[in-house]
Structures are given as structure tokens and as C-alpha cells.
Amino acid sequence: MGMRSEIMIEARNLAYYYPGEDETPVPALSGINLTVHRGEYIALLGPNGSGKTTLMKLFNALLAPSEGEVRVEGISTVDEERITEVRRYCGMIFQNPDNQLVATTVEEDIAFGLENLALPSPEIQNRVSGVAGLLGLEKLLQQPPHLLSGGEKQRVAIAGVLAMQPHCILMDEPTAMLDPAGRRDVIETVRRLNTEQGIAVIHVTHFPEEAVFADRVIILHRGSLIRQGPPKDVLSDLPLLHSIGLQGTAAVELAALLREDGFKLPPQIIHCRELVHSLCSSELKS
Ligand SMILES: Nc1ncnc2c1ncn2[C@@H]1O[C@H](COP(=O)(O)OP(=O)(O)O)[C@@H](O)[C@H]1O
Ligand SMILES: [Mg+2]
């Protein structure tokens, strides 16, 4: 077998300007250098307007860079002849599941992208039943998508992307429109695809709780990548998060309050489980 690069997506000196009124370009991203590795789970955090969606659209070849370049599996996203390949390697899930479901049944919806690839129909059947099994959608295949819950709709959207056998899934705030149960459903599904299928994930969110289990957390602010690192380092930096208008996880916020109150807690607590463990196991107050 040939050597497969460990690099899945590479952005070099990437910038993007939207065309503004009276021809003045509006900068949305600048100076972005970022490498996404095979099988990596990245959480991308940033306040509204920081450029998260723009970056995902550049990775998915929906937008072409104003400066610099993006390569997906070594293919430049401006290579017109290979744009469908880029989109197949890097599937995208959007915020609102209702805008992504197009067909009259779940089954047709999952098959939609495959039909466009003009695959033979037994292959389409195989893939649809494969991903339906993987995502627990077997019983919903004949349902009209509009009757599903929000979480189920997002799972169908994910199934449609998964059927394309992507190497990476880009998820742009996939839980923003969901209730807590739907949110858990989607997060568990995606984590499972990452750990069991080795699919790389870039998960855009402004819920820090959803970033706790990522391999790497990246923070965008006003179009720049201002911080990246392991969740423990980045998510425990409350002054940084607050300075750009983001909250910490419940555990980080509560640990900070308890420390102010004189409780001695170890640094870098980002998860409730760790906080409870520390609170239960130590001489707490000096
Ligand atoms: N279609 C557009 N035309 C002009 N400006 C845009 C457009 N879409 C986004 N922007 C601007 O680009 C910046 C980044 O937007 P976006 O990538 O949507 O951020 P986020 O997803 O982090 O909220 C913002 O300042 C936003 O106002
Ligand atoms: Mg956005």
C-alpha cells in the first residue's frame, strides 16, 4: 500500500474577504495557517462573526480563498476539475437540518448525494442501508424527514454525508437548533464516527462543553486564529474565553468561583466529573 499522508486538510496564509458595499472588501479571515490530521477531532470555538462558517466553507470548496490556499487530501480547493472530490472527502453538516433535507423520505435523502455521483443502484442500496444501520435510522427510512425530531434530522443529514465515505466531516454548529436530547444524540453520533470509523471531524460550536472531548481546540476571533491546543489548556483559560465573549464550561466557571472563595482546586479542571472528584477528595478550604 502507498503511503498516505497524515495531513488531511492544510490551510496556508489563508484570507477571505466578502465583497462589501461600494466595492470595499470586508475581511472575514486573515493569516490562517492550520493543519488537520487524519482522524483528528477538532473543536472550533469563536464568538459570532469570528469567521467560523467562512472557514468551513473554504474547507468545503464552497468559497475560494482571497489569499493563500486550502488543500484537501493534497488537492487545491480551486482545482475546478477536482472540486467534487474535495466535497466528497470533506462533507459538511450545517446548523439548520431543515435546509439540508431535500427528499420525500429519509431513504431518498440519504441516497441523494450518491445519485448525483451516478453510482450503480445496488451500490447505492448497500451504502444507504450501511449508514442507516450505523446511525440507527433503519426504522425511519420510509418516513418523511419533516416528521422527525431535530436530532433525528441531523442524524439523517450526517448519514447523507457519511454515505459519500468522507475522510472528514465539517459540522457548523450542528446542535444550535436542537434541544438538549437532540444535542446529545448528535454529539454521541459524531464522536462514535470519529473513534470507530476514524473520520476526522471539525466541530464548530460556541458551547465549550462540546469541545471537552476534542483532540484539539482552536479559537477564532475577528478572523484570526488566536489560540489552539489540547482542551485542558485552552478551555481552562477563562480570562481568554471571557475576553472574547465566550463562557467556560460549567465546571471551569464553577471552579473559578470556588477558587475565589478560597477553595484549593487543581488547575485545568474542565469537566464536571473532575470537579466533583476534586471536591470530594481533598482538604478543601485553607
Ligand atoms: N455573505 C456575506 N457577505 C458579507 N459579509 C459576510 C457574509 N457572511 C459573513 N460575513 C461577515 O464575515 C464575518 C465572518 O462571518 P462568519 O464566517 O459567518 O462568522 P461565524 O460563523 O463565526 O459567526 C462576519 O463579520 C460577517 O458579518
Ligand atoms: Mg457561523
Helix (H, G, I), strand (E, B) or coil at 162: helix
Q: How many residues does the chain have?
A: 286
Q: Look at residue 160 and tell me if it is in a domain.
A: yes
Give the pLDDT band of residue 3 (cuts 50, 70, 90).
low
The structural domain count of the chain equals 1
Task: Return the pLDDT at 2.
Answer: 47
Give tens-digit pLDDT for 70-115: 999 999 999 999 999 999 999 999 888 888 888 999 999 999 989 8
Name the residue range of residue 224's domain: 7-230
Structure confidence at residue 284 (pLDDT): 56
The CA 95 to ligand 1 mean position distance, Å, reads 15
The pocket of ion ligand 2, defined by CB under 5 A, consists of 52-53
More confident residue, 194 or 176: 194
pLDDT of residue 283: 64
Give the C-alpha separation, 52 to 128, whole Å: 30
Residue 171 within any structural domain of the chain: yes
Question: Would you place residue 132 in the very low, low, confident or very high pLDDT band (cuts 50, 70, 90)?
Answer: very high
Can you tell me the distance from the alpha carbon of 259 to that of 225, in angstroms, rounded to the nearest whole number? 30
What pLDDT score was predicted for residue 282? Answer: 65
Does residue 214 carry a pLDDT above 90? yes
- Check residue 83 and give its pLDDT: 94
Query: Residue 11 C-alpha to ligand 1 middle, in angstroms?
Result: 19
Residue 1 has pLDDT above 50, yes or no: no
Say whether pLDDT at 230 is over 80: yes
- Residue 278 within a domain: no
> For residue 5, what pLDDT is reported?
72
Report CA dihedral (111, 113, 118, 119) to the nearest 10 degrees: -50
| Choice between 241 and 96, residue whose per-residue pLDDT is larger | 241
Coil vs helix vs strand at 144: coil
Report pLDDT for 4.
63
Look up residue 138 and give its three cell numbers: 433503519
Residue 242 lies in a domain: no
The closest ligand to the CA of 220 turns out to be 1
Cβ-contact 14, 58 below 8 angstroms? yes
Q: What is the DSSP letter of 206?
A: S
- Residue nearest to ligand 1 atom 4, measured at CA: 18
Query: Tens of pLDDT along 161-184?
Result: 999 999 999 999 988 888 888 888
* Ligand 1-lining residues (CB < 6 angstroms): 18, 26, 28, 46, 48-54
Q: Is residue 16 part of a domain?
A: yes
Confidence (pLDDT) at 95 = 87
pLDDT at res. 285: 54
Is residue 217 a part of any domain in this protein?
A: yes
Query: Which residue's C-alpha comes closest to atom 11 of ligand 1?
Result: 28
21 against 159, higher pLDDT: 159
Query: Across the chain, where does the E strand assignment appear?
Result: 7-18, 26-37, 41-45, 67-72, 75-76, 90-93, 168-172, 200-205, 216-221, 224-229
CATH number at residue 199: 3.40.50.300
